[in-house]
């Protein structure tokens, strides 16, 4: 049974502005993770295939082709984990 | 570093065997070299620490804990890195002294009039960064040190962003303490320096206890207690096994910088900064912060891109192999002065080129399309 941890290497809370979380996907799983997200979330915009802005369950977030994503305004780690579960699993 | 670990790896000041003697000689040579690099009078004024943060904490706890009391004042600027704010705030809760914060102008330069007006006979120490890690503004620490001494106060300078980039002469500046880090000047992480005037360090109690920092630990059976005497400077402040390889590697970094010449290092950065600012101003959605007079600053350029968070900008740049910081850069009060939620920061050093700046600006122009 796959888990969020199979895809996510690290989650870091950023400083400044509204609290954001940077999710770094595991290097060998990043393409699969981005593909899964693309299937489930709605693509709002994309620049050069490098940065893609998605909406999922009224939450807007950006995914970078380097294998990182930035989620803003998420309440806490548990809430972020729930969203990642819904997106990745 | 490889040479040290392969051929000379042993503890220092501990043993009579050859490896230990070699390691000790290399480590103490490093101290000598670094002392000359900042023109300290004596290598005993050079204490190896983990970095700038530990150096400032050493002063706070070793000097401040015993010399600051209720009613005293510590003067700090609002442009300080958290490492030059938090130790004093923690200590003030213990000792009850007051911290006064000197203002910063809207362009990031120090408000000298405000800083100087806050000195009084109650001021025991003034703490100021030589170069702001957010704006790159160079502070006239010599001027502030003079005023501090006129009021009978000490002067501590955070040199993390100045020592790697320009000639720093502690005797000319007449500062009492100078803290800096190895990893910002081509050295490894985990090594840094506290410079302190010998007469001050002599009077200070040790920061940490353990091996190496003692001369004698003598147990008296009759009194059932130990009598302890401290080692000489600088070892009194270096409890336990130090970062020997880090110190030696920092010496090599210093040698490399000296082979270029610190005046040349600064000149290169100034030229690149002027070029980078000029090119970044081509970007319509990019806002730059800091003084418009670039002679007041060195190669640190804070900015934001309209409509994007600093972290978005940093992640976008990362996609192109361009590494920039985003967030508060451990200087939240200065961001409050700038009325910013956060900022992105491009920083330049001797290894950067015009071509890299061109590439960076190309990427910024792409980001503007987001």
Give pLDDT, residue A20: 87
* 3-state DSSP assignment of residue B222: coil
What is the mean pLDDT of the segment spanning B217-221?
Answer: 90
Q: Are residues A70 and B341, on separate chains, in Cβ contact within 8 Å?
A: no
CA geometry: angle at A31 spanning B316 and A55, to 5°? 65
Predicted complex ipTM exceeds 0.95 = no
* Segment B24-52, tens digit of pLDDT: 999 999 999 999 999 999 999 999 999 99
In this structure, of B45-59, B167-181, B269-283, B323-337, the range with the lowest mean pLDDT score is: B323-337
pLDDT at residue A47 above 90? no
Binary contact (A15, B309; C-beta < 8 A): no
Q: Closest Cα partner for A62 from A80, A79, A45, A82?
A: A45
Which residue of A11, A17, A54, A65 to mutate against B (max B Cβ within 10 Å)? A17
Which is it for the CA torsion B34, B39, B42, B46, positive or negative? Answer: negative
Span B157-165, average pLDDT? 98
Q: Which two tokens stand for residue B161?
A: 């962003």
pLDDT of residue B195: 98
Query: Which of A17, A51, A65 lies closest to B341 in CB terms?
Result: A17
Q: And the tokens for B259? A: 């082979």
Instruction: Name residue B77's beta-bridge partners.
Output: B102
Mean pLDDT of B244-256: 98
Mutation target to probe the A interface, by most A beta carbons within 10 A, among B314, B319, B326 is B319
Please give the residue of chain A at the shortest CA–CA distance from B339.
A17
Q: Kindly report the CA angle at B169 between B164 and B172, in degrees rounded to 5?
A: 150
Q: Which of A22, A47, A64 sits opposite B366 (nearest CB)?
A: A47
Quick one: residue B49, left, alpha or beta (phi over 0 = left, psi -120 to 50 = alpha)? Answer: beta
Contact residues, chain A, for B326 at CB < 8 Å: 14, 16
pLDDT level of residue B156 (50, 70, 90 thresholds): very high
- Across the range B240-256, mean pLDDT stands at 97
Which among B225, B168, B188 has a CA at the least distance from the CA of B1?
B188
pLDDT more than 90, % of chain B: 95
B342 and A50 within 8 Å at the Cβ level: the answer is no
DSSP B276-308: HHHHHTT-TTEEE-S-S-GGGB-SEEEEEETTS
CATH architecture assignment, domain A4-88: 2-Layer Sandwich (3.30)
Where along chain B do the CATH 3.90.1150.10 domains lie?
262-367
Q: State the nearest Cα–Cα gap between A43 and chain B, in angstroms.
A: 14
pLDDT at A46 exceeding the cut of 80: yes
A vs B: CB pairs below 8 A: 59
Q: At what angle do helices B310-319 and B354-367 cross, to 10 degrees?
A: 120
CATH code linked to domain B2-260: 3.40.640.10
Q: Which residues of B touch A53 (CB under 8 A)?
A: 370
pLDDT at A48: 78
Domain boundaries, chain A: 4-88
Q: How many CB atoms lie within 10 A of CB B310?
A: 28
What average pLDDT does range B292-318 have in this prediction? 95
**What's the whole-number mean pLDDT along residues B177-184?**
98
Q: What angle do CA B90, B96, B100 make, to 5 degrees?
A: 75
Q: How confident is the model over B137-159, as a mean pLDDT?
A: 98
Q: Compute the nearest-CA separation of B333 from chain A (Å).
A: 11
SS3 A56: strand
Contact between A17 and B366 using a beta-carbon 8 Å cutoff? no
pLDDT of A17 reads 64
* Known active-site residue B330: yes
Which pTM value belongs to this model? 0.94
pLDDT at B165: 98
Give bridge partners of residue B326 from the DSSP assignment: B344
For the segment B301-318, the average pLDDT, to the nearest whole number, is 94
User: Which CATH number applies to B262-367?
Assistant: 3.90.1150.10
Write out pLDDT tens, residues B337-356: 999 989 999 999 999 999 99
Q: Residue B118 has what pLDDT?
A: 98
Measured in degrees and rounded to the nearest 5, phi and psi for residue A73 equal: 70, 20
The closest CB to that of A22, out of B311, B328, B332, belongs to B311
Query: Looking at the complex, does the CB of residue B369 fall below 8 Å from at least one CB of chain A?
Result: yes
Closest residue in B to A51 (Cα) is B316
Among A20, A45, A64, beta carbon nearest to B316: A64
Which tens digits make up the pLDDT trace of A14-39? 887 667 899 999 999 999 999 999 99
Query: DSSP E strands: which ranges in chain B?
Result: 46-49, 73-77, 98-102, 123-129, 154-158, 177-181, 192-196, 214-220, 225-230, 286-288, 300-305, 325-327, 343-347
3-class state of residue B32 by DSSP: helix
pLDDT at B305: 96
Shortest Cα–Cα distance, B347 to chain A (Å): 19
Instruction: Give the model's pLDDT for residue A49.
Output: 81
Contact B85, B275 (CB under 8 A): no
**Torsion angle defined by CA atoms of residues B78, B83, B85 and B88, in that order, rounded to the nearest 10 degrees:** -160
Nearest Cα of chain B lies from the Cα of A1 at a distance, in angstroms, of 31
What is the H or E stretch that residue B362 is in? helix B354-367
Instruction: Let me know: does A31 contact A22? Beta carbons within 8 Å.
Output: no
Instruction: Report the pLDDT averaged over residues A67-74.
Output: 91
A18 chain-B contacts, CB cut-off 8 A: 341
Question: How would residue B272 be classed by pLDDT, with cut points 50, 70 and 90?
Answer: very high
**In terms of DSSP bridges, do strands B286-288 and B300-305 run parallel, antiparallel, or are they unpaired?**
antiparallel
**β-strand pairing of B123-129 with B73-77:** parallel
Cβ of residue A11 closer than 8 Å to a chain B Cβ? no
Q: Rounded mean pLDDT of B194-210? A: 96
A22 touches chain B (CB under 8 A): yes
pLDDT tens figures, B93-122: 999 999 999 999 999 999 999 999 999 999
**In 3D, which of B55, B324, B81, B317 has the Cα closest to residue B195?**
B55
Decide if A75 touches B, using CB distance below 8 A.
Answer: no
């Amino acid at each position: 049974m796959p888990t969020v941890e199979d895809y996510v290497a690290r989650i870091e809370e950023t400083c400044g502005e509204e609290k954001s979380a940077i999710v770094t996907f595991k290097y060998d799983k990043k393409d699969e993770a981005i593909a899964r997200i693309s299937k489930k979330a709605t693509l709002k915009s994309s620049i050069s295939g490098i940065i893609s802005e998605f909406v999922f369950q009224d939450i807007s977030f950006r995914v970078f082709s380097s294998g990182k994503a930035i989620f803003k305004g998420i309440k806490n780690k548990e809430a972020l984990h729930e969203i990642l579960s819904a997106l990745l699993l | 570093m490889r040479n040290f670990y392969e051929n000379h790896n042993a503890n220092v000041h501990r043993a009579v065997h050859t490896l230990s003697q070699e390691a000790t000689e290399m480590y103490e040579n490093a101290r000598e070299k670094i002392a000359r690099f900042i023109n300290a009078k004596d290598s005993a004024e050079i204490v190896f620490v983990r970095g700038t943060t530990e150096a400032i904490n050493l002063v706070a706890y070793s000097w401040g804990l015993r010399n600051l009391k209720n009613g005293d004042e510590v003067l700090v600027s609002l442009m300080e890195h958290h490492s030059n704010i938090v130790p004093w705030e923690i200590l003030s809760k213990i000792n009850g002294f007051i911290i006064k914060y000197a203002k910063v102008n809207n362009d990031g330069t120090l408000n000298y009039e405000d800083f100087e007006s806050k000195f009084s006979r109650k001021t025991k120490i003034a703490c100021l960064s030589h170069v702001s890690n957010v704006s790159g503004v160079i502070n006239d620490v010599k001027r502030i040190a003079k005023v501090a001494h006129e009021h009978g106060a000490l002067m501590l300078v955070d040199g993390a962003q100045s020592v790697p980039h320009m000639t720093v002469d502690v005797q000319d500046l007449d500062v009492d303490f100078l803290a800096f880090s190895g990893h910002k000047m081509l050295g490894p992480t985990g090594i840094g320096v506290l410079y302190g005037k010998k007469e001050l360090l002599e009077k200070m109690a040790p920061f940490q206890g353990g091996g190496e920092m003692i001369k004698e630990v003598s147990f008296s059976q009759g009194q059932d207690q130990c009598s302890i005497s401290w080692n000489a400077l600088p070892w009194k402040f270096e409890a336990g096994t130090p970062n020997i390889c880090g110190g030696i590697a920092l010496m090599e970094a210093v040698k490399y910088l000296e082979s270029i010449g610190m005046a040349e290092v600064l000149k290169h950065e100034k030229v690149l900064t002027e070029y980078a600012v000029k090119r970044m101003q081509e970007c319509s959605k990019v806002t730059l912060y800091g003084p418009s007079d670039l002679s007041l600053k060195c190669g640190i350029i804070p900015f934001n891109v309209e409509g994007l968070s600093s972290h978005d900008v940093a992640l976008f740049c990362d996609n192109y192999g361009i590494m920039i910081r985003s967030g508060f850069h451990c200087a939240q009060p200065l961001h409050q002065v700038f009325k910013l939620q956060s900022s992105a920061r491009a920083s330049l050093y001797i290894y950067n080129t015009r071509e890299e700046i061109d590439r960076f600006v190309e990427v910024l122009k792409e980001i503007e399309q987001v």
